[in-house]
Structure 1
Amino acid sequence: MKYIEKYCKILIVKINMEVISPMFTGHLCFLTLSPMGRVSIQALVGTNVTLAVSHAGASQPEVMWFLGKLLVAKWTVGESSLPDAASGVLKAEQDGSLTFRNVSMIYNGTYTVEMNKIGEAKVSATFDLFIYDLIMNVSLHTDSDDAIEGEVKFSLYYSTIQGEAKEVQWLFNGLQIKDGSHYSISGKRLTIKQPSRNDTGRYTVLLTNPFSSEDHHRNITVLYGPDMPLLKVSPTKAVFVSGESLFLSCQADGEPAPSNTWTFNGESIPAFSPGTVSLTDVKTNQSGVYTCLMINSRTNAALQRNITVIVYESPSGAPQCSVQTVPGGAALQFLCVWPGGAPAARVSFPSLSDAGGEGDYSITVQDIHKLNRQEIICTAEHPLRSTHCSVFPSAPVDFLAVVSTSVSADDQMMVLMVCSPEATPEALVFWMKSGERLQNDHKYQISTNTTQLRIRDFNASSADLDTYTCSAVNPLGNKTLHTTLTGPQISNSSVLSNEDGTEVTLTWDVPLTSVITGFDIQMKGPEFSQPDVNTADFHTIQIMPAFSRSAGISALDPKSTYYFRIIPKAGRTAGEQSENHRIGPAAELSVAAVAALSAGIPCGLLLLFILIGFIYCATQDRRYPVSRAVEKVVVSQSALNPHNLLRARLKTPADDRLQQPERADPVSSVDSSVRMTTAV
């Protein structure tokens, strides 16, 4: 133990204690005391409170507790018996702490603990002990019975039966009062300097300490007046809207407050509260002058004042603008409607006329062509708000026909064609087929607004596949659209596989005028349930509705090859299939490809030898002597027959299908010519 302490004292100079402390757990090198700073402790009268300390670095140090400079307790830590102190109020703890039992107010003060150990430095800690009692029975008092406006001062003060406050707050109507020019706070007293009517209200004193909090209220009324009466409308508005609620208040300042009565058109109005009447869900007939009569009950003095209430009613909704064709089709009638309201709203078309109307106004315009695609604005004015609406007269613009197909329960196909041109006023649509006007009958049905044509019992392989024309007409112009219906078609298609090769997605497009009721998704390849079984023909694996443009197929074998295609259908009529899409690993050379390759290489060599022969023959016309060595070379090359050697490498005897047609004759003829030329 002594060795360890000596070793610690040497190392403490060189190394931070935090580094070596884990090496010598339980063996500190010097006496320490906790807490290290000044500690404030608050306690309630009659409770037990401990000034807790802990030490380390030395065993059984001597402990001394002081109140100020007065020694109140002394003992050695760890002794089995502890000394009595302060007639049983103080208790010495074995760890050096000091406990107060049933503490009373007389033990308030600052306490200091010191610990000594021979060979160690003295350590100490300081505690501020505050003892509080519960605050009870707070009362507020005044120096005089009445507070009068204009006097020098008015004072309030508080008293308690038990307990002292650590903090005192004065409040007026819930707001804290600050010491200043109007209020003076001293000890237990609050003084109001030169009180006024504004000081009338509720005064509160709030006393707090760490263990209790008590407050007390007192209402103080400052006497004054009476003053001139004040009339108010709540909420404060110049104009009220029908359906709103409001309050009329009539207050004559004075103490005591005067009584008052409200009248309207000579009739009394029941009061909601003294001086106030409530008008709920007001109507326009409640606009007018309201009178308040005020009487002081002590002096019988009377005052009368009037206030005017205005109630408006806004027109409902928003103004509506429209334009329509005048019978005969040569003019346009513009309408602007904003009904209701008090007073009535005024509406007009400033760009068409200076005139206007109240709530409902229309104007007919003969010269309409300059109005095409021009914004025609209707201004709407009302005392509550100003707004506007607008309309854009326009001739029909380019549009597209929308074609859809459906099948009834009895397997009859119906095609719906929709021509919805944008036009203002709305255009009238005429339908034709092959230049003839269509009318409603069993085959053709035209909607009430003429924008839709239904073709019943449609046959996708008959004369129903024809050109249909819809013409849209309004006074500002017309547009014609020709639409040729076609049988079921697919414009393009594609296939996309996932990374694992187990799922594919087919996508396709359809011409806008194609009559289609659905799609058959077909596949060729291994069966899903039996991957070892390969189907030689395409078969349908999914049936998709007419609006579909994609289909997903899963559970594929990534090591197998599949083929997919889409068949568009119109009822029972099938259209031209899409291209065949192949999914699977890269294909090996087919038997036909190998055979073609076997035949192609000899043919290439044959052409090369023919070219050499022609060149050689041309050189013989010069009659240059030819050496025997050259003759041997040429003959030996011919005897090798390179065509036959190459062909022999490519041929596979095991498969007769790889045998190519015999090409020996052409090759032999070339060889003979070569030999003959060489011999000459």
Structure 2
Amino acid sequence: MGHKLLTLFFTLICTSGLYAVFLVPSQNPVAVGSNVTISVNDTQPIIIGLWLFESSTLFAWYSEDVFTGSGHQNGTEFDISTYQLTLPSVTLKNSGLYALDALRPKARAVITLDVQEPVSNLTAFVSMTNLVELNDTVTFTCSASGTPLWFSWQNGNSTVTAGGRVELRNGGRDFIINGVTRYDEGPFKCLVANNISKRESHQMNLNISYGPSNLRVTASPEKSVYISGSVISLSCSADSKPTATFYWMYNGNPLNVYGPSYDLRDTTQNRTGEYTCVAQNAVTLRHVAVTKKIDILDPISAVVVNPAGSPVEGMAFNLNCNVVGPVNSIHWMKNGIYLDADNMITFSNDNSTLRFNRLTLSDDGPYQCVASNAVSNMTSLAYNLMVNYGPNNTAASGSKVAAVGSNATFSCSSDSRPQSQYSWYFSGLNVKNGSVYVTTPLSKNDSGQYTCMAFNSITGRSGNASVTLTVYAPVIDVVVNMDNQQPIFNQPFTLTCTVSGDVQHIQWMKNGVNLNHDNRINFTNNDSVLNFNPLTLSDNGQYQCEASNAINNRTSLAFDLKVIYGPWNTTISGPTVGAIEHNVTFNCSANSYPPSQYSWFLNSSKVGEGPVFTRALSLDSGGRYTCMASNNITGHSSNASLELTLRYPVSHVIVNAGNQQPVFNQSFTLTCTANGDVEHIQWMKNGMFLHPHNGITFSNNNSTLSFQNINLSDDGYYQCEASNAVSNMTSLAYDLMVNYGPWNTTVEGPIMAEMGSNVTFNCTAISRPHSQYSWFHNNSKVGDGPVHVTAALSLNSSGHYTCMAFNNITGRSSNASLELTVIEPIATVDVIPDRTIPLASQIFHLTCNVKGPYNTLHWLRNNQNLHPSDRVTFSADNAIVTFKTLQTADDGRYQCVASNALKQHVSRPYDLTVIFGPQSVQIIVRPGIPPILTCLAVSQPPAVYHWIFENNTVVGNQSSVELPIKSILGSNYTCVAKNPLTNVTVYTSQVVSYPNAAVSVQACVMLTALLALLLPVLEEWL
């Protein structure tokens, strides 16, 4: 036990650093009897720690060893894997401060646990339950067990608060209501709670008597006045507990009616009065009364409007309103709108009489009277007032003119009520009674004045009106004619209008527009004759005459006047040049009416008729063509002529070059050939007209195109167009492509190659057409074509390679050459070390082994050129690299590069890793619980280790070893480091003691004496 104590406190004092840790209880506050766990939120291992309750220790532990402290309680458990503390079945004594002290790593966390006793033994009661409103006071009392306790009260769902009539005493245990009201009946309950539980009491209700109050009497239906015969239900209600009792009185006298309702049936006006309801409460001994006034009235049964006399315009008139039943008021309406008295109408006899002082037509309309009282109103049927008047504005209408043999109709009208009676008079005689008069068939003797008389039998008034009639014979058979005349230009001409019937007026029209006289046109014989002197072309048109009188008019059919003239302005149209064996067409025209007749003449010989002349041309068809136009009515004629020249048409137009070839910088000729009468030749290049310029000329009437020295810019499509007056033709395009070359002959390919390889040579030349190629090696032909690939090369393949390019059109050739040198190849390049294991501080050689001729050698280290130094030297031919004393700085990737005249050959890489060690072997002490010894050595490859304790016991085969606590001081440990490749082994030892231990270990040893003095106290604590 003492050794564990020593180790524990040795570690506590020597541990440094602090980290955060938190405690989490399973519940807090917690009920008595519950199990509680206090967990640690951090997962970092705690090597040394304590659990404390208040100032006493519950548990202490070091690594896996757990110690029970003086404050430990039966059943308290500690889990070393999670550091969780478990308190079973807690009591009030378990309340307090719990602390976790971690000493390695350094940390501290505390929590206060609150153990509480649940609420129990709840009782509640009320002082009394049957109460009278505003008279009584009540007290509620509540008690319970538990710690701590909080008391509250609820009324229904509302929390009770002190104030006004409510008091809360004794920490809320007592609840008092002073002067209870009807709203204090509850239900009430007591609520008791603490942090871990709550309870509530049973519900308590109060029975509170009150009233009667708010007494109300209602009538159904509710009205200010009731009509006789109504059924009226009176109802009485009051707020009261227990329910109030009711009885009724009428005008202060009891009715011997009990209960909250009273029905009035078969009501009459004498039942009007005050009805009182009285309510009583047998418990509160209170009573109250309320009165309601009921008015009953008989309704109006009949309303009638009666007239006094007949309504005549300008006379006085009365309407009377007769009513059956009690009447409060009478009103008059016209057209549904109430009437007010003015200077034209007045009311009398309590508005029952409506008087019109002087009737006018605006008084027409439906009149009603409205009689009313408090329970009814009634409107009379409408009396439709229609004021009698007239006749006024008597008017007669009808025909003022009429045709002989027709009937005339006359109508008479007047403003009158009732309708007037009508009579018709002619020459003082009554010819018809009634408003409409239709005559018999008329003669001219029936012309004269017709009079109508209108009479009203009610007003006794009459009125007259007249119409004057004139009878005519109608206009018929209107015709325009010209007799036997011909309307010839610039001669006189006459049109005549003939008519039957009474004609009052004749009007002439041209093209539907009235015609007026001027200096050439006039009218004679009462406008029946239209005279032209003389005729012009502007007189052409549709002519009509219109004859009219008062009853009708007639218009003649149109006379189509066309002035005869011509021929004038004879013209001939057609070509002046014609193509032999082709048709020619001539057109002749002249201004003439009717149209002219045409005759055709060639050199005075008649050859055809009609306005169009067509013929096929032959050699004798040339000459003067004449057209003669004639008018057989005017007897006039007119001539026109045209001269025709004959030509053969152009055909078969061709561009050719003969047997020439267009060769660069030589002369060249194109010729245009054509059949027919060629008058003009035009050359084109690429669709554009070509004109002579430097080096290009035309000859032989432009039929020959000559190039003095043709060049490449003359390439293109050439055409010639041959034409004359009657035709033209363009040749097909001649595609001129100038032949040239070969020029700029070049050969491409290598000038050096290794023996056994193949070489490709390419030859090019600028030429049209493409050149033909031949290859020569030292003047011996070896192939054809633009590309030459040699066979596998030998040393004899060196020499002069020539390409000849030849154009078989231009007959020219061109050469190009290239000199090829064939050398022996480098077969292999290898780096060879002089030994398998390159040991540090020893001499070492790398040799470059090359098969095949080469020019130079050089070395690479890590892809960088390697240069000689005081430790690294090269042989004279650079084939050997010598390291005088190998060092780790020489590690790297080495390659040899052999070069000939053609290319470089690089060897495969040789990776040099210098082997050494073990060196600088040392032991490092790492203080801790437990302490750790680590052995370090510099070695390539890395050393392997094992440990020896006190010269005889192997205690480990890794680079580090943990020291047992009991052997931490004064022990000898030996580290053995071995190079697995060279088998070189190095030993080093370490005695773990005060002088050479780590600083933290030394500090711990210095406190040993102090710990010994404290041993008795520590043992008591543990």
| Range class of TM-score, shorter chain | 0.3 to 0.5
- Structure having the higher helix fraction is 1
Higher relative contact order (CA 8 A, sep 6+): 1
> TM-score if structure 1 supplies the norm length?
0.33
- Structure having the higher strand fraction is 2
Larger radius of gyration: 2
> TM-score if structure 2 supplies the norm length?
0.23
